[in-house]
Amino acid sequence: MPRVTDAYRRARRDEIASAALRCLRRNGVSGTSIADVVAESGLSAGAIYSHFRNKAELASYVAGSLLAWRIDEFASVTVDAPADAMRFLLAVFEDEEVTPHVVLQFWGEATVDEELRTVMTAVVGRMRAAFEHAVRPWADRRSADGAALAARTASVMLAVCQGYIANVALLGPRPVDDYLADVAVALGSEGADGQVIPLQRDHLSGRG
């Protein structure tokens, strides 16, 4: 029997994950079963179970891979302003392949499923690190301690992006550019060029 390569196994797992994601978009996390994935993928149940022990393991794999490719692209990306990095990431949700309501459901499931929580925490950590990397040159131009500013800004950027995902999942589609512009206006921190500028502590205390 020919040896099954790691590349083949990875490709088959990704094929199964894509079928699972299509089911998740239609039926939600709780409403999707392995039988649904079998029907969607055209593979046998045995083929599914040879790669994933159960639905929880498959869900964890899907959750971990949802934004992984987009986050990986940050490795070669630097930006002029934090808004550019957030726009780069959130643009993926304007595509039908990755939908906010699926991500939001995974977050909900992660509050009661320890295995899924571990996966989602790792994804969020990678996202924060990617933001930190992307804005570091920007932070270095604005602070003697660019590393600290980049880290603080990345945490805020993450929260803003999570807000967009939850907002769109619950209330419907919203252009990314409109959302980021409205965030800047709401915080009173919109620059002349429309880019988001982090608030200074003095602004919050009424000084300056």
Query: Is residue 197 in some structural domain?
Result: yes
Same domain, 118 and 197: yes
pLDDT, position 37: 95
Taking alpha carbons only, the member of 107, 73, 116 closest to residue 91 is: 73
> What confidence category does residue 208 fall into, taking pLDDT thresholds of 50, 70 and 90?
very low
pTM comes to 0.78
145 Cβ neighbours under 8 A, 6+ residues apart: none
pLDDT for 146: 95
Q: Is residue 60 part of a domain?
A: no
Q: DSSP class of residue 50? A: T
pLDDT tens track for 162-207: 999 999 999 998 999 999 999 988 877 544 454 545 444 443 333 3
Same domain, 14 and 82: no
Residue 161 falls within a domain, yes or no?
Answer: yes
Domain span holding position 124 = 66-205
Q: Is the pLDDT of residue 143 over 90?
A: yes
CATH of the domain at 10: 1.10.10.60
121 shares its domain with 190: yes
* Signed CA dihedral, 134, 140, 141, 145: sign only: positive
pLDDT of residue 207: 39
Q: Can you give the pLDDT at residue 154?
A: 95
Helix 6-27 to helix 55-65 angle (10° resolution) is: 90
- 61 located within any domain: no
- Residue 153's pLDDT is 95
With respect to residue 28, please indicate whether it lies within any of the assigned structural domains: yes
Asked whether residue 31 falls in the same domain as residue 78, the answer is no
Residue 14 lies in a domain: yes
User: What is the helix, strand, coil percentage profile of the chain, to 5?
Assistant: 70, 0, 25
Give the model confidence (pLDDT) of 68-115 as tens digits. Answer: 877 887 777 778 899 999 998 898 887 666 789 888 988 998 899 888
- pLDDT for the residue 95: 67
Torsions phi, psi for 196 (to 5 deg): -75, 130
Q: Which of 53, 55, 62, 81 is nearest to 22 (CA)?
A: 62
Report which DSSP code applies to 6: H
- Alpha-carbon distance of 139 to 158, in angstroms, equals 16
Pair (97, 185) in one structural domain: yes
Number of domains in the chain: 2
Residues 6+ apart with CB under 8 A from 94: 175, 176
List pLDDT tens digits, range 111-130: 998 888 998 898 899 899 99
Mean pLDDT of 123-148: 93
Mean pLDDT of the chain: 84
